[in-house]
Amino acid sequence: MPIRSFNPPIRTLMGPGPSDVHPRILEALSRPTIGHLDPAFINMMDELKELLQYAFQTKNALTMPVSAPGSAGMETCFVNLVEPGDKVIVCQNGAFGGRMKENVERCGGLPIMVEDAWGEAIDIGKLEEALKTHADAKIVAMVHAETSTGAQSDVASLVKLAQAHDCLTIVDAVTSLGGTPLKVDSWGIDAIYSGSQKCLSCTPGLSPVSFNERALEKVRNRRTKVQSWFMDLNLVMGYWGEGAKRAYHHTAPINALYSLHEALLILKEEGLENAWDRHLKNHLALKAGLEAMGLEFIVKETDRLPQLNAVTIPAGVDDAAVRSRLLNEYNLEIGAGLGALAGKVWRIGLMGHSSCAENILLCVGALESVLGEMGADIKLGVALPAMHKALSSD
């Protein structure tokens, strides 16, 4: 069979990422490619930095997108801040805290693990005990929004505690940026990374990061070279620095950066607080429908992430079969569980452009239909009215 141009099916993306991409962002991708040192492109880069500063709620000069996915943003933080022999306290309450540990080890650091059960928020008391026990720790790393479970931790309090013990902080905000309150400067976060494909509703492949002066002082005064040439901030900032004169570092993903610029512009036009409110309101509508049906969330309500919802799979239901039917019959994608939660939960995303009433009604209606036909122990005919009531309330 001859190979032809690829035309993907049109899906509704309600998994853990990517999310639906706004048509304006897709259009931005198609704009003419220009050089990565073109004066017009450099002007766009300056705007992009300003828009990212707004999204992160920071004035950090070193705020930029890494030319690679969120995992590279994670690595950028760790390879620049962790040196061989450094003690790093890693708070793990899901899959992505485990990736932080891997990064520490590969940088030659010593990870000190503070572990909580998957589905629970990070316990500040456990972190305090670890900081007292390991007074020579230099960094505390934590996940704000744990994508594997839908748990959200109190990063503001955790960072304040770390600062009291003279530790730098690294925060994973891959799933939180643009979807739930996040305030880099007022919370005192030293280094943070995110991804383009979640609540920003951009295409995958870029990782916004931000470093404050406290973190940069550590980078400038390293005893050893940063182990990654590509991610060495001392080099990258020659390209992402201030002003019109830029030093070549790498060929930037030009059209992808157009799309991130458009995504962040859409966020600013909506207003950051309005975006946070929209994600929360839509979460409450989804919650009303799923709970009316009889499905349960694994995260307690006070620690629940609005844009990523982990719900238990009813007893006797084939996880993969349900997701396959949703994809093939409704063009709807939801996510499977990771690690210890594989086969036990579905992860339903309400991120960015995907977070809208139409998607919620489609998702819960499709789930009710498929589960009902499979004979699952759920309540029929009550989910949609519950959601309509939640959506109509102020």
- State residue 394's pLDDT score: 66
Contact of 279 with 199, CB cutoff 8 Å = yes
Q: Does residue 140 have a pLDDT over 60?
A: yes
- Res. 245 pLDDT band, cuts 50 70 90: low
- State residue 196's pLDDT score: 98
Question: CATH for 272-392, among 3.40.50.720, 3.40.50.150, 3.40.1390.30, 3.90.1150.10?
Answer: 3.90.1150.10
- Res. 242 pLDDT band, cuts 50 70 90: low
* DSSP state letter for 367: H
Q: What's the maximum distance between 2 C-alpha atoms anywhere in the chain?
A: 65
**Where are the chain's structural domains?**
23-269, 272-392
Burial (CB count <10 Å: 0-12, 13-18, 19+), residue 373:
exposed
* C-alpha–C-alpha distance, residues 297 and 301, integer Å: 8
- β-strand pairing of 145-146 with 207-211: unpaired
Q: Does residue 130 have a pLDDT over 60?
A: yes
- State residue 246's pLDDT score: 75
Distances (CA, A) of 295 to 234, 315, 320, 344, 383: 50, 11, 17, 12, 10
Beta bridge partners of 146: 151
Contact of 206 with 256, CB cutoff 8 Å = yes
The packing angle between helices 272-293 and 383-392, to 10°, is 150
- State residue 236's pLDDT score: 87
Phi-psi region of 354 (alpha: psi -120 to 50; beta: other; left: phi over 0): alpha
Distances (CA, A) of 105 to 26, 84, 90, 97, 253: 38, 9, 11, 13, 30
- State residue 337's pLDDT score: 96
Which residue intervals of the chain are DSSP H helices?
23-29, 39-56, 70-81, 95-106, 124-133, 155-164, 184-187, 213-220, 233-240, 254-270, 272-293, 319-330, 357-373, 383-392
- State residue 239's pLDDT score: 82
What is the overall mean pLDDT for the chain? 96
- State residue 105's pLDDT score: 98
Mean pLDDT of the region 123-145: 98
The backbone torsions φ and ψ at residue 332, rounded to the nearest 5 degrees and listed phi first, read -120, 125
Three-state secondary structure call for residue 288: helix
Q: What is the pTM of this model?
A: 0.96
Q: Does residue 198 have a pLDDT over 70?
A: yes
**Please, which residues have CB within 8 angstroms of residue 214's CB and are 6 or more apart in sequence?**
168, 190
Mean pLDDT of the region 325-336: 98
Least confident of 43-47, 177-181, 248-252, 301-305: 248-252
44, 45, 50, 55: CA torsion to nearest 10: 100
* C-alpha–C-alpha distance, residues 267 and 25, integer Å: 12
Q: Does residue 221 have a pLDDT over 90?
A: yes
- Res. 243 pLDDT band, cuts 50 70 90: low
- State residue 97's pLDDT score: 94
Type of residue found at 303: D
Type of residue found at 142: M
Distances (CA, A) of 268 to 50, 56, 131, 222, 275: 11, 12, 38, 36, 9
The backbone torsions φ and ψ at residue 30, rounded to the nearest 5 degrees and listed phi first, read -90, 0
* C-alpha–C-alpha distance, residues 217 and 138, integer Å: 13
* CATH fold for the domain made of 23-269: Aspartate Aminotransferase; domain 2 (3.40.640)
Q: What would the two tokens of residue 203 be?
A: 């295409």
Mean pLDDT of the region 205-211: 98
Mean pLDDT of the region 301-314: 97
**Percentage of the chain modeled with pLDDT above 70:** 99
Mean pLDDT of the region 332-356: 96
**Percentage of the chain modeled with pLDDT above 90:** 93
Q: What would the two tokens of residue 237 be?
A: 């900032």
